[in-house]
């Protein structure tokens, strides 16, 4: 019996050691390339819209921009939670220019209701931060619009929102659109622009569905930037890095996500660190004229041929128009 316990303890020790090496290696890799937003730019007089601002990266971005004097509109689906966060931000920044509005990016009706109300009540939009996102459930799930849930939340909702608000963004120029994607956009298998809703093939699983939606974020940014040529609107996508946010534990049935969450908890960036590239693209003076780039750690990073394929970007845009039923009055490019 003592021999068995010795073997078990030895194996346990080896596993702990390997885990420790993994964590140290991951932290070294992350912090070797980490850069903060060094801009001290004031945002006084600016109107900023941040989707998914009730927690994680969106909350930190809202706090930072409120601290800089911006009027920050937190567009969130959970109003009770978002209002508590807004009050926290008001107290910590001393700003009373923080407000909450209802927006569920998985629902095209919610997007249209929010956007049309925004246009009626606002006269400018200086920075649009498309941050809301989920990793979908393990089983294939469709929304009320018959869209695959992850794609609807991460891509379709933001696609429609941006199109409806685009004329206001252009009239507010110099202005910016900041699209929160992920390095996971590089890891897509079987991406088909004609099957964004996962109707033609077996469900690819929450991991690949998430990756596909993040590729759509980058391709959307590329095509939008093409349409914005000749304007004074900066539009760029980014990966915030490995950050421990709610996304890792909102879906207890998705085991792979829980495992990654544990690793990120020990080795990843803090939320404040993860928000730096978003903030950088929203405020940094040197990024006022950049368009169609992909960023990590506050600097342009190379990405895949697929993510740079303008033909594919146009196909995704056109298919997205069809699937969200983009109306003539909602086109401003």
Query: Catalytic residue numbers?
Result: 210
Length of the chain: 333
What tokens were used for 271?
A: 């939320």
HSE of 143 in the Cβ direction (CA atoms, 13 Å)? Answer: 22
Q: Rounded distance, CA 10 to CA 45, Å?
A: 62
Contact 209, 26 (CB under 8 A): no
Token pair 């070294």: residue: 28
**Main-chain dihedrals φ then ψ at residue 107, nearest 5 degrees:** -115, 120
Contacts of 185 (CB under 8 A, 6+ apart): 211, 214, 215, 217, 218, 239, 303, 304, 307
Nearest to 178 by CA among 56, 82, 288, 333: 288
HSE of 163 in the Cβ direction (CA atoms, 13 Å)? Answer: 23
Burial class (CB in 10 A: 0-12, 13-18, 19+), 122: middle
């Amino acid at each position: 019996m003592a021999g068995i316990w010795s073997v078990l303890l030895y194996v346990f020790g080896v596993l702990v050691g390997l885990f420790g090496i993994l964590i140290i290696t991951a932290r070294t890799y992350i912090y070797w390339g980490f850069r903060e937003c060094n801009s001290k730019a004031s945002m006084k007089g600016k109107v900023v819209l941040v989707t998914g601002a009730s927690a994680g990266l969106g909350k930190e971005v809202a706090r930072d921009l409120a601290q800089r004097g911006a009027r920050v509109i937190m567009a969130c689906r959970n109003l009770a939670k978002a209002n508590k966060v807004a009050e926290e931000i008001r107290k910590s920044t001393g700003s009373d220019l923080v407000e909450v509005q209802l927006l569920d990016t998985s629902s095209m009706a919610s997007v249209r209701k929010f956007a049309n109300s925004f246009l009626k009540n606002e006269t400018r939009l200086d920075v649009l931060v498309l941050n809301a996102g989920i990793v979908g459930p393990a089983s294939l799930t469709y929304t009320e619009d018959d869209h695959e849930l992850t794609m609807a939340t991460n891509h379709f909702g933001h696609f429609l929102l941006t199109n409806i608000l685009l004329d206001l963004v252009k009239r507010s120029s110099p202005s910016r659109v900041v699209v929160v994607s992920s390095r996971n956009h590089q890891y897509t298998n079987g991406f088909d622009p004609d099957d964004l809703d996962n109707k033609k093939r077996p469900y690819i699983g929450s991991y690949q569905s998430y990756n596909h939606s993040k590729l759509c974020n980058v391709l959307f940014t590329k095509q939008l930037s093409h349409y914005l040529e000749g304007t004074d609107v900066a539009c760029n996508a980014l990966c915030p890095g490995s950050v421990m946010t709610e996304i890792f534990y909102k879906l207890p049935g998705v085991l792979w996500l829980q495992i990654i969450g544990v690793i990120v908890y020990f080795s990843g960036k803090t939320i404040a660190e993860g928000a730096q590239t978003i903030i950088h693209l929203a405020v940094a003076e040197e990024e006022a004229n950049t368009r169609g780039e992909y960023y990590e750690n506050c600097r342009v990073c190379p990405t895949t041929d697929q993510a740079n394929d303008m033909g594919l970007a146009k196909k995704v845009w056109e298919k997205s128009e069809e699937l969200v039923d983009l109306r003539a009055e909602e086109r401003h490019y």
